Structure 1
Amino acid sequence: MLWRVRTTLPDRPGALAVLAEHCGRAGVNILGLQIFPGIEAVTDELVLSTPAGWGASGTAHLVERAGGRNVVVQPCTEAALGDQPTRYVQAARTILASPMSFPEVLAVLFDAEADPVDPDGPPQDVMELTVGGVQVQVRRTAAFTATEHARGSALADLVSDVLQRTRTDSAIAVSPGRRLGGGTTPEHVVDGDSISAVVDGVVVGLATVQASLADDPAARPVVLRVDPAWQRRGIGTRLLVDVARLAHSRGAQEIVLTTRSDNQAVLPMVLAAGMRGRIRLAGDVLTVRVPVRDLRPLPAA
Structure 2
Amino acid sequence: MALWRVRATVDDRPGYLSVLTASLALRSVNILAVQVHTTEEGAVDDFLVDAPDALTEADLLAAVAKGRGHDAFVTRADPQALADQPTRALALAGRLVHEPDALGEVLVALLDATEVRWRPESAGDRPGFHGGRMTLADPAGGSLEVLRALPGFTPAEFARAQALVEVAATVQRRHRDQVAMLLPDGSEVVLRPAALDDLAAVREFHDECSPAALRQRFPGGLPADTRLRRLLEPAGGMTLLAVAPGGAVVAMASLLAEGDLGELRVLVTDDWQRRGLGTALLRRLRSHAAKAGMAALVAHTGAGNAGMLRTLRRVGAGPIERDGAMVTVTVRAAAHPVGEETPAPSA
Aligned match of 2:49: 48
- AA in 1 matched with 2:26: R
Provide the rounded CA distance (Å) in 2 between the counterparts of 1:167 and 1:115. 24
**Change beyond 3 A, Cα 1:166–1:20:** same
Provide the rounded CA distance (Å) in 2 between the counterparts of 1:126 and 1:70. 17
What displacement does 1:124 show?
A: 6.2
Aligned match of 1:243: none
Aligned match of 1:129: 136
Find out whether 1:158 has 2:175 as its counterpart: no
**Change beyond 3 A, Cα 1:159–1:45:** same
Provide the rounded CA distance (Å) in 2 between the counterparts of 1:32 and 1:144. 19
What displacement does 1:53 show?
A: 2.2
Q: Is the 8 A contact 1:47 1:81 kept in 2?
A: yes
1:168-224 Cα shifts (integer Å, max 9, x gaps): 2259xxxxxxxxxxxxxxxxxxxxxxxxxxxxxxxxxxxxxxxxxxxxxxxxxxxxx
Provide the rounded CA distance (Å) in 2 between the counterparts of 1:152 and 1:21. 32
Q: Is the 8 A contact 2:104 2:116 kept in 1?
A: no
Find out whether 1:72 has 2:73 as its counterpart: yes
Provide the rounded CA distance (Å) in 1 between the counterparts of 2:179 and 2:153. 36
Q: Is the 8 A contact 1:124 1:139 kept in 2?
A: no
Deviates more, 1:128-137 or 1:65-74: 128-137
**Change beyond 3 A, Cα 1:112–1:86:** same
Provide the rounded CA distance (Å) in 2 between the counterparts of 1:131 and 1:115. 11
Residues paired across the two proteins, number: 165
Aligned match of 2:61: 60
1:244-298 Cα shifts (integer Å, max 9, x gaps): xxxxxxxxxxxxxxxxxxxxxxxxxxxxxxxxxxxxxxxxxxxxxxxxxxxxxxx
Superposition RMSD in Å: 2.0
Aligned match of 2:32: 31
| Regions of 4+ moved over 3 Å | none
**Change beyond 3 A, Cα 1:170–1:131:** farther
Provide the rounded CA distance (Å) in 1 between the counterparts of 2:109 and 2:79. 15
**Change beyond 3 A, Cα 1:45–1:158:** same
Find out whether 1:146 has 2:155 as its counterpart: yes
Q: Is the 8 A contact 2:6 2:73 kept in 1?
A: yes
Determine helix, strand or coil for the equivalent of 1:37. Answer: strand
- Normalised by the size of structure 1, how large is the TM-score? 0.51
- AA in 2 matched with 1:17: S
What displacement does 1:44 show?
A: 0.8
Aligned match of 1:189: none
Provide the rounded CA distance (Å) in 2 between the counterparts of 1:139 and 1:162. 25
Provide the rounded CA distance (Å) in 2 between the counterparts of 1:57 and 1:23. 13
Structure having greater relative contact order (Cα 8 Å, sep ≥ 6): 1
Provide the rounded CA distance (Å) in 1 between the counterparts of 2:40 and 2:115. 29
Aligned match of 2:97: 96
Provide the rounded CA distance (Å) in 2 between the counterparts of 1:59 and 1:39. 25
- AA in 2 matched with 1:34: Q
Q: Is the 8 A contact 1:131 1:157 kept in 2?
A: no
- Normalised by the size of structure 2, how large is the TM-score? 0.45
Q: Is the 8 A contact 1:2 1:75 kept in 2?
A: yes
Provide the rounded CA distance (Å) in 1 between the counterparts of 2:26 and 2:168. 46
1:17-56 Cα shifts (integer Å, max 9, x gaps): 1011111211111111011123451011001221122222
Provide the rounded CA distance (Å) in 2 between the counterparts of 1:61 and 1:124. 23
| Structure number, greater radius of gyration | 2
Q: Is the 8 A contact 1:2 1:50 kept in 2?
A: yes
Aligned match of 1:82: 83
Q: Is the 8 A contact 1:131 1:159 kept in 2?
A: no
What displacement does 1:96 show?
A: 0.9
> Identity rate of aligned residues, in percent?
33
Provide the rounded CA distance (Å) in 1 between the counterparts of 2:145 and 2:74. 22
Structure 1 gap ranges (5+): 117-122, 172-301
Provide the rounded CA distance (Å) in 1 between the counterparts of 2:138 and 2:93. 14
Q: Is the 8 A contact 1:7 1:68 kept in 2?
A: yes
- AA in 1 matched with 2:134: M
What displacement does 1:90 show?
A: 0.7
Determine helix, strand or coil for the equivalent of 1:26. Answer: coil
